[in-house]
Structure 1
């Protein structure tokens, strides 16, 4: 039997397979296979769209609620309801915007189609990813709590019968804490599953709308994509630990140790689209560094001996000149809110407290480059040797050198040897992260100075080579580094895995810092402006 006898619309090219698409430029109906072949003809322009958006149909008008013998062929934009011609002529909608119901139907279905694609292709997969991560964490919880229970058993074996009661008590504590931990994850799983079920239901409802010509059903559609786009917050729970003290029979209960309480930290997800929230004009010809004093005040340094404290409105609050009268090489803000700067001209690191400058470090045979303040209010300084042959990172407690980081386990230099500014930052996990632009790498070592990894850019770097400049870290242990050559910023996790780019129309992002609320500040040397960018969700 001829398929056309069953009203099956066939592809205009192969005339065998049902049509699925329409090329709007060529006005030709296509099946899936022929659509691909049609697009391969580069001699013409093509615009392929799903056929169902263009097919002719017989409208199914709804009856007017006030005039039962009339069809609602128009739509009142002011009242948001379908209306009939009698409704219009009655004057009740005088002055209202009236549109053709079929045009309204078409625009509504286009919006539904767009929402459907977003739900299926973007939103739902993100929920799936979160759900998978929670399930993985639950499996890790089972393993780690098992390890804690084993530790408790080992302690019990050492102390034998005298401590059996205490061991059992500790295991009970572990089981209770584990229950609380799993309860938190189960609650999150339930919330995610419930939301995923809702999305699936909405998807089915939208597909039903798209497959029907019921105008009433279509006109009452309301998008929930904005609601579903607000992903539920994830939680990060720090596993408790079980201390192992020295055995003391007199104070056995106290010395046995205890299970730490469950620590719950909310993880801030990355925004789908980072957004610019402020731009600060620094007044320099060339801007080189920025360091946050607060969420609305930043210290800056540029092509002069003057360092400026500015607010978000570009108002100058304070300015301080270097002790030597030379340009500062880098700046940082201490935990106490004081300013530190390096002076390459006289090999010093200087602290500004109450507007008075004191030299805290004077180097011999080395010249300071960049500086950052650590969690325990120490200073980390990158430096190069006077002959330019060596580079290293040095930790200082006050004026005392407490650590030097220069070579890996095989005795090879960790950093390139040059006078390029090697910006650095200490991560929340106490890793030391250095942006080594000459080496085209971000070099990360742990607290003891052992190499953890090198990040040399993402495979999508196809324009200019990766040459990191500024670097900073946030409360989530993300590592952010400026990719000036490609006009963007890379976000990595604490293990060096690439997460995403930040663009935000960045010209030449150079130096970076984040404030206590994880707002990113980006210094552009060409425009001499600092841009404030929100890249993490505030919904926790």
Structure 2
């Protein structure tokens, strides 16, 4: 690869007792973040001290971007509810997933439910507070869409097709809004692409990896204050051994550089996020590393 490399500098690490297999990170502030494995969701400080754990009333079950932080600093997350009056299942769970919001005092309200599709990923806009929710059905091949709601859960619209009537998404696993231009950036491993649409839902481009990548399977995605896109993904070499990488793109999908390459054995996926001070949070299997 001929592009210049700008290696990241490790500044600190966070280890969370009793947690491993991290799947997603949502940053509240440089010293406060939410991290999740498939079934556990915890709020931490910068040293790894657990501030809060999601109550057992809510069944968190996500291998993708199942939580986000609002502009007010509140947690918004996808979960089923235990022991609900609407529950008919033997395990005491509602049959439908809901989108819930946790305020700073720990109180939780339900914003909406998605009866016909499975919510997979969620992002709270830093521009206007809207919620962007990645959804998919359970058919094969998968068909996905992005639902836009206001901060109270009222539906504004959805994004499903491009201008030719083709399905844009298969499984929108991680979702992010670019605060510079309002683009919606979705990581879709099933499609093996980053799918980018503008704020109105018009398809702009798919990014399917650098020309030297033998394969491209995206995972976590985020954007920084300059509107650049950071995407984690697996790559294979000539012997079909694979590593996880973080690539940096400009807002139009042009490859800029490879920020990080690590051995695949240290990850289940490679969730990442970036704060307003350009700290990059990367979740390994057992720890979270913070780079600059």
**Same fold judged by TM-score > 0.5?**
yes
Which residue number in structure 1 is paired with residue 187 of structure 2? 435
Looking at CA atoms only, which structure, 1 or 2, has the larger radius of gyration? 1
Aligned to 1:472: 222
- For 1:51-104, what per-residue CA distance to the aligned partner results, in whole angstroms no more than 9, with x for missing partners? xxxxxxxxxxxxxxxxxxxxxxxxxxxxxxxxxxxxxxxxxxxxxxxxxxxxxx
CA distance in 1, matches of 2:14, 2:72: 24
Match of 1:493 among 247, 250, 269: 250
1:415 aligned residue: 169
SS of equivalent residue, structure 2 residue 6: strand
Is 1:366 aligned to residue 117 of structure 2? Answer: yes
User: What TM-score do the two structures reach when normalised by structure 2?
Assistant: 0.82
Greater share of strand residues, 1 or 2?
2
Aligned to 1:160: none
Instruction: List aligned pairs for 1:267-416, cutoff 5 A.
Output: 272-282=6-16, 283-304=18-39, 306-321=40-55, 323-328=57-62, 330-343=66-79, 346-353=96-103, 354-374=105-125, 375-387=127-139, 389-397=142-150, 398-416=152-170
Unaligned runs of 5+ in 1: 1-269, 535-540
Where 2:248 maps in the other structure, the secondary structure is strand
Once residues 386 and 401 of structure 1 are traced to their aligned partners in structure 2, the CA distance between those partners, rounded to angstroms, is: 22
1:474, 1:518 within 8 Å by CA — same for their partners in 2?
Answer: yes
> Greater relative contact order (Cα 8 A, min sep 6): structure 1 or 2?
2
Deviation for aligned residue 1:323: 3.3
SS in 1 for 2:8: strand
Alpha carbons of structure 1 residues 438 and 386: separation in structure 2 relative to 1, 3 Å: closer
Per-residue deviation, residues 140-193 of structure 1 (Å, max 9, x unmatched): xxxxxxxxxxxxxxxxxxxxxxxxxxxxxxxxxxxxxxxxxxxxxxxxxxxxxx
Q: CA deviation at 1:271?
A: 8.4
Tell me the CA shift for residue 326 of structure 1.
4.2
**TM-score, normalization by structure 1:** 0.45
The question of whether the paired residues in 2 share the 8 Å contact of 1:280 and 1:311 is answered with no
**Which of residues 275, 287, 290 is equivalent to 1:515?**
275
1:328 Cα deviation after fit: 4.7
Q: Give distance in 1, aligned partners of 2:183 and 2:119.
A: 20
Task: Determine if contact 1:322/1:328 at 8 Å carries over to the other structure.
Answer: no
Provide the rounded CA distance (Å) in 2 between the counterparts of 1:504 and 1:384: 30
Deviation at 1:319, TM superposition (A): 1.7
Residue 528 of structure 1 is matched in structure 2 by 286
Unaligned residue ranges in structure 2 (runs of 5+): 81-94, 236-242
Other-structure match for 1:484: 234
How far residue 487 of structure 1 moved from its aligned partner, in angstroms, is 1.4
Report the secondary structure of 2:272's partner residue: strand
Whether the aligned pair in 2 keeps the contact of 1:307 and 1:321 (CA below 8 Å) is no
1:112-191 matches, cutoff 5 A: none
Distance 1:271 1:293, change over 3 A: farther
Check the 8 A contact 2:6/2:257 in 1, yes or no.
Answer: no
Write out per-residue CA displacement over residues 339-394 of structure 1, whole angstroms, 9 at most, x where no aligned residue: 01112663211101121121101112111100001121110000012546421001
Superposition RMSD in Å: 2.0
For residues 317-340 of structure 1, the C-alpha deviation after alignment (integer angstroms, 9 at most, x for no partner) is: 222225333435611111000001
SS in 1 for 2:23: strand
Q: Distance in 1 between matches of 2:56 and 2:116?
A: 22
